[in-house]
Amino acid sequence: MEPYRLVLLSFMLKKTKQLLLSQIQSFKAGSISKCYSRWLVLSTVKDQLIEFTSTPYQDRVPTQKKFSAEESTIIQSEIDKLPQKEVIVPARNEPGQFISTIFLRPKPDGSHRMILNLKQLNKSVEYEHFKMDTLWTVI
């Protein structure tokens, strides 16, 4: 390769690294939608299958914690947002369905995060160790 092309390539790599480093330093959890286009995330997740070690089974519906009126309002508000974000779709009761409970955790900004408790379902899911690389380890 010619020397000026090597210098140009080196310069481009340096600029790319600087750009990635600046994005890492300014990245805030929960803002992935600002970093990646929505279609990329959805196409990556779409059609992924969960491998089960056994058929998930519940002999009874789990008991849901009772929420205060304020918590119920927060939960309903969060649930109302999910179809708009195309995270959930309406479903009907089905024989053999698996039901999980939910709970709330406060976020640092004072709002709340609704969490679907999949602990019981995970007992039937094949465990696969996964180590996610960070941009720091890639660079």
CATH of domain 49-139: 3.10.10.10
Residue found under tokens 């914690």: 65
- Per residue in 71-109, pLDDT (tens digit) is 999 999 989 988 888 778 888 888 888 899 999 999 999
Helices and strands of the chain, counted as H and E runs: 6, 2
Distance CA 64, CA 36 (A): 35
Strand partners, 106: 112
pLDDT of residue 54: 87
Q: Token digits for 11?
A: 């310069």
- Per residue in 2-11, pLDDT (tens digit) is 444 555 566 6
Q: Which of 28-32, 66-70, 85-89 has the highest mean pLDDT?
A: 66-70
Nearest to 119 by CA among 89, 94, 99: 99
The reported pTM is: 0.58
Task: Give residue limits of the domains in the chain.
Answer: 1-48, 49-139
Buried b (16+ CB within 10 A) or exposed e, 119-132: eebeeeeeeeeeee
Residue 27 reports pLDDT greater than 50: yes
